[in-house]
Every structure is written in C-alpha cells, then in structure tokens.
Amino acid sequence: MRGDGTPRHLVDVDDLSREELLAVLDRAAALKGYVERGDPHRYLDGQTLGMVFEKPSTRTRVSFETGMTQLGGHAIFLGPDDIGLGGREPVKDIARTLSQYVDCVMARVFDHDDVVELAEYATVPVVNGLTDDAHPCQTLADLLTVRETVGLDASVAWVGDGNNVAQSFVLGAALAGVDLTVAAPDGYGIDPAVLDRAAELGTAPETTDDPAAAVADADVVYTDVWVSMGQEGEREEKLAVFEDGGFQVNDALLSETDAQVMHCLPAHRGEEITDAVVESDRALVWQQAENRLHAQKALLTWLLD
C-alpha cells in the first residue's frame, strides 16, 4: 500500500522502481532462507488472495497458493467457469466486488488490458500472473535466480521468440542492471515500445538475429517456447522460421560457452530446447521454478505491508 492507503499493483515489472525491485529480491532471498530452515513466517495471517484464471497453469497456481499457505493466509481459485471477465460480468464490476472479499487479486488472463482495468477499479493490490503481453512474476523469479548464481552484473542472452516472458525480462534486466542481448528472428523480436521503456529505465538490450553471436559471451542463456498459448494457428510457420534460423538451445549452440541455461517452463523439448540441455548440469530451470514461490511471497508481503 502507498502512504495514503491506496493500493500498489504489479501490472508489469517496471511498476517497481530499481530500489523497490532490489528490495523485493532481498525479501525473496530472506523468505527462501526461512523455508530452508523450517522457520515459520506467517506475515499474511488471516489474509486472502483471490486468484483469477483464464489460462491453464501449473507453476503460477501452485506457487501462489502454497505461498499464501506458508504466509499464514488463504488463496481462492477462480477459474473460467467461476468468472467470465468482460463476458458474464464487466471487468470493473469484478474488480470492485472482489475488493470487498479479498486482500489481493492475482489474475492470469489473455488480454493485458483486463489486468490494467482490474487494477484501475480494485481497491486492493492487483498482481499480473501472466497476460499475452507480460509475465512480471516470472521476471522476479528469473532475476532472483540470476542473482543467486552469477550475480546481477552478469551477461544474459535471450534466444527465441520475443514473447510476454521476454518482454517482461527485458524491462526487469534494465531495472536490475543486467547486461542483456536478445536474439530473435526478424519479425519475432521485442516490441519497439518495450525497448523504448527499457532504455528509459536503464539500458535497452542489444538485439540480433544471430543466436550464436548472442550466446558467445553470455553467462546465462534463456529461452522459452516458440509457440505460446493462443498462437497454435501459427505453429508450423513459427517452427520453420526458428528452426531454420538455428534458434534451438542445444549442445551445438552452447559448445563454445560455459553458460548456464534458463527456461520458464513448460518446455517443448525438441523444439526451442533439447532434452539433453534441460537435463544437463547447465540447467537452472528447477531453481527458477522454485524461485517463483519465494519471489511471489516477497511481492505479496511487500504489496500488503
């Protein structure tokens, strides 16, 4: 909450300042330590998180629900059959109604504007659990993982589609001071407006269509699926473009580097990344997945503090 009692929201990661982002990462590291030691940390005792889902989920639902339990609170799952955003009921009405019952709302939906509208009308904090444009909670976990392994002064290469995960990571990297290069085929890169926002926050990433050049000096190589939810109709076209361009993260691409590898999951093994790389000692994917829990708990306690 702000000093005047109005709620803070996380619609995208740059809703945080650099100082606030680093404070959330510090808090996430502390909460992770509590879990590892078995120390109770019921900072949200008696509080409730309303979780609005339009898209299927493994990590988002389980990490938020488990996180609220560990913090002493409660989470309510509201699936597509429970709430029809903008269909059965206007988004603004849902925002105002949920605000009477819960202490925070997390929404994992298709249309980014729906989360923007939820935040506009809600009187409690709203967290973007994923939209077609952004995935800020994933970025918090990613930055925590980078900080734990190679430090935020590291060099990271994004290899693949300039999707919602990539766009939030671009903004998070600019805030945190991470040196980032984005390698994507022509026409599949980061939205120019996001690059402009990154430049205003710190430094926009270097961009290229050459994945080998991008990973050459990288400490971490990050990839995600080439075909995101809702893009199934573009599948064959996108697979051909990315395969022909050599964008698969495989042993050959990584042969000249000691870089570790991140993937936000789920992975389409054999497409954007090989099974061998996911199962290798390079992979940080399970650490990333765990860090969703700790980063989101830190965010919730920060928003509700």
Active site residue 292: yes
Q: Which of 248, 292, 294, 296 is catalytic?
A: 292
Active site residue 104: no
Q: Which of 27, 224, 248, 260 is catalytic?
A: 224
Active site residue 264: yes
Q: Which of 264, 282, 288, 296 is catalytic?
A: 264
Q: Which of 8, 9, 59, 135 is catalytic?
A: 135
Neighbours of 215 (CB within 10 A): 25
How far is it, in rounded angstroms, from Cα 234 to Cα 96?
A: 37
Cα–Cα nearest to 261, from 174, 1, 253, 302: 253
Q: Which of 108, 147, 263, 294 is catalytic?
A: 108
How far is it, in rounded angstroms, from Cα 39 to Cα 184?
A: 43
Active site residue 96: no
Q: Compute and round to an integer the Cα radius of gyration of the chain.
A: 19
Active site residue 288: no
Q: Which of 8, 27, 114, 138 is catalytic?
A: 138
Active site residue 138: yes
Do residues 120 and 92 make contact, with C-beta atoms less than 8 angstroms apart?
Answer: yes
Tokens of 154: 């590291």
Do residues 149 and 287 make contact, with C-beta atoms less than 8 angstroms apart?
Answer: yes
The single-letter DSSP state of residue 109 is: -
Q: Would you please indicate which residues are annotated as catalytic (active-site) residues? A: 108, 135, 138, 224, 264, 292
